[in-house]
Amino acid sequence: MTLTQRVRPIVLRILFLLGIIGPGLITASAGNDAPGIATYSMAGSFYGYGLLWVLLWAALGAVVLLEMAARMGAVTGKGLTELIRERFGVRVTVFIMVSLVLANLGTTTAQFAGIAASAELFGVTRYLVVPVAAFAVWFLVLRGSYERVEKVLLSLTLYAVAYIITVFLVRPPWGEVLQRTIVPTVRLEPDYLLALLATVGTTVTPWSCAYMQASVADKGVTGVEYPYTRLDVLLGLVLSSLVAAFIVISAAVTLFANGIRVETAKQAALALAPLAGPWARQLFGIGLFGASLLAASVLPLATTYAVCEVFGWERGINHTADEAPIFYGLYTSLIVLSSIVVLIPGIPLFPLMWLSQVLNAILLPLVMAFMLRLANDTGIMKKWRNSRLTNVLAAVLAAVITLATAALLAEALF
Amino acid sequence: MTTYLSHILGKPVWDEEGQRLGRCVDLLAAEVETGFPSIQAIAVKDGRETRLIAAEFVAWLTPSIILNTSDPPAYEPRGDELWLARQVLDRQIVDTEGRRLVRVNDLQLTRISINGIHFRLAGVDVGTLGLLRRLGVEGLAATVLKILHRQPPEAVIPWRDVAPLQADEPIRLRVSLEKISEFHPADIADIIEELDRPTGQALLQTLDTETIADTMQEIEPELQASMLRTLPPERAADVLEEMDPDDAADLLADLTPTRRAKLLELMEDEDATDVQKLLTYPEDTAGGIMTTEFATIPSGLTVGQALDYLRQSEAAHEDEALFYVYVLDKMQKLQGVIALRELVLSAPHVAVQDIMEADVITVDPLRPQKEIAHLVAKYNLLAVPVVDAQDVMQGIVTVDDAIDAIIPTAWKKRLPRVF
């Protein structure tokens, strides 16, 4: 038997496996965009394994909420914002949309901060890169040539796999990791509470629910085919949460254990040092750049589209700016505002990336309240109403977020 | 005198003696297929209880809702009323003049005082001003506009020009359909794409088979399969027969093998064979996008004979565009091509052989779609014949199918699911 004959079955098996988990893995690692990477690196470097239990519950919350959103999309064929408008009227819709736009403005800012931070890893000033990136995003997406760039950016985000390999290289104490994941430990300090909220906020966002429901509704998934969609949602989330957990663990082992608290991208990159050695900075920089640019290209347009859709304004890039002034105005403002924030001299990029996610967490219970009312409405959901378990889990998630928010406010006030 | 639904909803209802009965939560309109449906009753909510009061007992809707009696009897709904707040407000509705889907921000009502007082539904406000009115900041917006010296943009569509759509109300849907079925299939397709699935499907199902086929061809490919699934198999097969073979083949390719086999079985043999042949080619090649319906004439005819031949030819009748007529020899090999225009404008006795273009630009079935698009653009062609290695003609690729490759699809389909 020659060497190639011996190797071929192994290669085939790996290719087969990649074929199955490939698309999911890419989606999962792309989900860990700039704010995600920043939050998980920060969490691991400041608190070691201390926030892993939060990640577990946040991921569980994400499963519950996204499943609920996907189910509503499949049963009604309508988006979340559309359902809210039809059921609760204009005022509630305006309130929800303003929240979503603010949260997404924060997240887009975080993406531009990620672009700036990755450029600075290579010694390029943010005052050059951010305006260029902002213009490129604005222009490419409006011209519709975004498609060509998308695949390149998606493949760049695969660098998140490096975290998984790193963790297996450094051999963390798995027993302790498991124990800290399952047994919650709470510290009533403002910094810890902020980190907790950011971890929740980057794992499950109101926007991801709206986006999930809209994409299921658009695809025309019906109640009968829904089990496949549910499996898809579940697998994607398990994968992305695993990647997230591996980022936390590698940051805990390489940074927390050595007393490094991540304040900059340069420090965050060190988490990959056991694998990439001196190239850790380059690996981290390229991956962060890809993930940030990808999200920065999608988020402003998708947000603008959702707003215009629910209020019935002309929308879409096949209209001119004269026909759809609000569409173009909002889209441009989102990009301009978020890139300007990043350019404020002396603004700390890395904290900006993860702090933006606290807003997402705080807004989540508000949106959840309406989601729960819709998902329990027999008139809308028919026999696909929420199960009691779903309601209880969602209520627990909302309660945890609300308690953490309240504790944070109390700390700040007294 | 006009008023708006948003000014009425939530307002307290008073009887003749100044007794508060509750809050107005809805209005019921009847004869909704007419241009000015009359308001039949108001729904009044007091605590947990909702009761209906006939409109004839309502003296004023604005500025306050006041009844002309102190003991209004309950209104018995006939079943065909439209609940304006619950079924129309905030819903999607078809603007039959603009041929587009709009969302109802507010409803305009008029008060008519001939033979007593009547309230009628006059129009649908789909503009931003309606949204601001709902938010209660209409006055503020008017002031701002006045300062800017701008006229407030009016966007009220008369009720006779709208078609309400609700999947769970078949009767009402049928009335709306009469208006919508007159639309161009491309407009219907746009509306169906934007509607929520259940309503879109209900709308599609009520169209006649030919319209469904034409509409189907204009719908995004991802949606076609799920739309077809909602039709009963026999109907789906009929629709596929009516569609252009290349579009039908693309659609069938997206289905599961068992379903595809079943539908092909149900289709007429001739159409099924055409489609099956197309199914063997990759989707983005000449074979995948060509149509097998094209006009041909045998070689050796005069112009007059050729035109007579075309009038009799079934293939010519099936050719949707009939830009070109292809001249074939006995072995079905392509000899030349002539534009129909030239054929019609030439004298009848001229031999086709003398005026046809013998040096035809052709593509083989596996030629990529993108290349064909460039070919079509370069030579200003309206259709390109597809021939196999033996020069036997297999089909034609029309310009619209060729350029699909270089025209970007709707952006929405291209967004990855990353959040």
Report the residue from A76, A205, A312 with minimal CB separation from B126: A312
Please tell me which residue of chain A has the smallest CA distance to B89: A86
Range of the domain at A349: 26-48+90-211+234-364
Give the count of alpha carbons within 13 A of A205, CB side only.
26
Q: Is residue A372 part of a domain?
A: no
- Domains of chain B plus CATH, in order, are 2-150 (2.30.30.240), 165-280 (1.25.60.10), 296-403 (3.10.580.10)
Q: Is residue A401 part of a domain?
A: no
Interface contact flag, B411 A30, Cβ < 8 Å = no
A31 touches chain B (CB under 8 A): yes
Using a CB-CB cut-off of 8 Å, the residues of chain A touching B129 are none
Report the residue from A89, A154, A311 with minimal CB separation from B416: A154
Please tell me which residue of chain A has the smallest CA distance to B131: A90
Q: Which of A218, A226, A313, A326 to mutate to test the interface with B (most CBs of B within 10 A)?
A: A218
Provide the 3-class DSSP secondary structure of residue A186: coil
pLDDT digits (tens, 9 = 90+) for A180-229: 999 998 888 889 999 999 999 999 888 888 888 887 887 777 777 788 77
Report the residue from B229, B410, B416 with minimal CB separation from A150: B416
Q: Which of A105-119, A150-164, B95-109, B159-173 holds the top average pLDDT?
A: A105-119
Instruction: Write out the two tokens for A256.
Output: 């927390």
- Cβ pairs bridging A and B (under 8 Å): 90
d(CA B200, CA A218): 11
Element holding A394 (H helix, E strand):
helix A388-413
DSSP B159: G
pLDDT averaged over every residue in chain B: 85
- Cβ atoms within 10 Å of A101's Cβ, excluding its own: 18
Domain count for chain A:
1
Q: Where are the beta strands (DSSP E) in A158-230?
A: none
* Residue B408 confidence (pLDDT): 52
CB of B354 within 8 A of CB of B317? no
Q: Is residue A244 part of a domain?
A: yes
Residue A155 predicted with pLDDT over 90: no
A70 Cα to chain B: minimum distance (Å): 13
Determine the residue type at B406: I
The residues pairing with B158 across neighbouring beta strands, listed in sequence order, are B123
Interface contact flag, B103 A311, Cβ < 8 Å = yes
A85 touches chain B (CB under 8 A): yes
* Residue B173 confidence (pLDDT): 60
Query: A240 phi and psi, to 5 degrees?
Result: -70, -35
pLDDT digits (tens, 9 = 90+) for B68-108: 888 888 898 888 888 899 888 998 888 888 888 889 999 99
Q: Is residue A294 part of a domain?
A: yes
CB of A77 within 8 A of CB of B198? yes
Nearest CA to A293 out of B410, B412, B418, B413 is that of B418
Provide the 3-class DSSP secondary structure of residue B271: helix
- Cβ atoms within 10 Å of B183's Cβ, excluding its own: 17
- Strands B49-54, B38-46: pairing kind: antiparallel
Q: Is residue A60 part of a domain?
A: no
* Residue B326 confidence (pLDDT): 95
Q: Is residue A76 part of a domain?
A: no
Q: Is residue A36 part of a domain?
A: yes
Q: Which of B25, B197, B201, B414 to mutate to test the interface with A (most CBs of A within 10 A)?
A: B197
A331 touches chain B (CB under 8 A): no
pLDDT digits (tens, 9 = 90+) for B369-394: 889 988 988 899 999 999 998 889 98
CB of B4 within 8 A of CB of B129? no
Using a CB-CB cut-off of 8 Å, the residues of chain B touching A205 are 419
Q: Report pTM.
A: 0.79
% of residues, chain A, pLDDT over 90: 48
Report the residue from B197, B229, B411 with minimal CB separation from A77: B197
Q: Is residue A402 part of a domain?
A: no
Please tell me which residue of chain B has the smallest CA distance to A316: B411
d(CA A393, CA B375): 59
Provide the 3-class DSSP secondary structure of residue B42: strand
Residue B191 predicted with pLDDT over 80: yes
Interface contact flag, A302 B415, Cβ < 8 Å = yes
A231 Cα to chain B: minimum distance (Å): 15
CB of A241 within 8 A of CB of A62? yes
